[in-house]
């Protein structure tokens, strides 16, 4: 699609530059795939431990280090809804939850196994969100804060507020499940 018609700006690029742009686009898309999370975190953790926090050390390390940084930042941005101000975080959560449920509905309609977190009949949203925040968001942004310490002062403040809110919701969710007559 990047080269389908004459109006495409990328079509005018030299082949080597077009190849590089294409690789960047592929890396950006793959960075949003949660199946890649553990390997992205592991690679970035290794890179962070080998370099000091100064921008000069990252630049001196070269193009590969900068690409890893870009991919990790892209991945972090993709999963960052829990690090937003609470009203915005809740709005993103509702949108994502509905997307997951629609996927589960479609899977059920096609008689496929319903993916985890996508079954609106058995979902425990607060429990899932607390786990996601503790096991995905916190390690990701703590690692990113080693490169940019300001993350602790700004982004992680919202993370903490949202985590406390979701822990409260989890308590209510657990109480509701325990009180449910189907249990």
Banded model confidence at residue 6, pLDDT cuts 50, 70, 90: low
CA proximity to 159, closest of 151, 150, 168, 169: 151
Specify whether the CB–CB gap between 156 and 83 falls below 8 A: yes
Render pLDDT for 43-65 as a digit per residue (tens, 0 to 9): 999 999 888 767 778 888 888 88
Helix axes 63-78, 138-147, angle to 10 degrees: 140
What does the radius of gyration of the chain's CA atoms come to, in whole angstroms? 20
CA proximity to 156, closest of 72, 52, 83, 96: 83
Share of the chain above pLDDT 70, in %: 94
Render pLDDT for 127-181 as a digit per residue (tens, 0 to 9): 999 999 999 999 999 999 998 889 999 899 999 999 999 999 999 998 887 777 7
- CA-CA distance, 162 to 87, in Å (whole number)? 9
The domain locations on the chain are 14-76, 86-110+119-171
Predicted TM-score (pTM) of this structure:
0.82
């Amino acid at each position: 699609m990047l080269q389908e018609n004459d109006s495409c700006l990328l079509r005018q690029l030299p082949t080597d530059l077009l190849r590089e742009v294409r690789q960047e686009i592929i890396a950006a898309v793959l960075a949003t795939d949660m199946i890649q999370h553990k390997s992205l975190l592991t690679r970035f953790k290794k890179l962070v431990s080998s370099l000091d926090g100064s921008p000069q050390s990252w630049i001196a390390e070269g193009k590969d280090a900068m690409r890893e940084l870009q991919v990790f930042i892209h991945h972090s941005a993709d999963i960052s809804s829990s690090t937003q101000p609470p009203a915005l975080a809740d709005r993103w959560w509702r949108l994502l939850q509905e997307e997951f449920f629609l996927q589960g509905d479609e899977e059920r309609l096609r008689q496929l196994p319903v993916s985890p977190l996508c079954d609106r009949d058995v979902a425990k949203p607060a429990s899932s969100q607390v786990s996601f925040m503790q096991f995905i968001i916190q390690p990701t942004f703590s690692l990113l804060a080693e490169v940019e310490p300001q993350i602790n002062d700004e982004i992680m403040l919202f993370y903490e507020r949202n985590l406390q809110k979701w822990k409260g919701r989890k308590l209510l969710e657990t109480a509701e499940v325990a009180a449910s007559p189907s249990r």
